[in-house]
Amino acid sequence: MNLNEFFHMGGYGSYVWTSYGITLVVLLLNIILPARQHRKLLADIARKARRAGRKP
């Protein structure tokens, strides 16, 4: 099997690759967004703690 045939998928290439593409994007987003939220939360908590610490 050559690469062209592989991407062609017997004429169903656009259907198959769209499905896999959407799935990849959704699954990656569901990792990236919580990771980003986590980082933000930690930074936020640290900032508030520092501010509270400065005041006697």
Partner 1 sequence: MFNNFFHKMASPKYFYRISGKLIPWFAVPCLLLTLAGLYYGLVEAPTDYQQGDSYRIMFIHVPAAWMSLFIYMVMAGAGAIGLIWRIKLAEIVSISSAPIGAWFTFLALITGSIWGKPMWGTWWVWDARLTSELILLFLYLGVIALYSAIDDKRTAARATAILAIVGVVNIPIIHYSVEWWNTLHQGPTVTKFDKPSIHISMLIPLLLMALAFKLYYAFVVLMRARCELLERERHTGWARELTEEK
Where does this chain bind partner 1 (CB under 8 A)? Answer: 1, 6, 9-12, 15-16, 18-20, 22-23, 26-27, 30-31, 34-35, 37-38, 41-42, 44-46, 48-49
User: Cα dist. 18→5, 9, 14, 26, 49 in Å?
Assistant: 16, 12, 6, 12, 46
CB 34, min distance to partner 1, A: 4
CB 11, min distance to partner 1, A: 7
CB 36, min distance to partner 1, A: 10
Q: Report, in angstroms and rounded to the nearest whole number, the Rg of the chain calculated over CA atoms.
A: 23
**Using CA atoms, how far apart are residues 45 and 56, in angstroms rounded to an integer?**
18
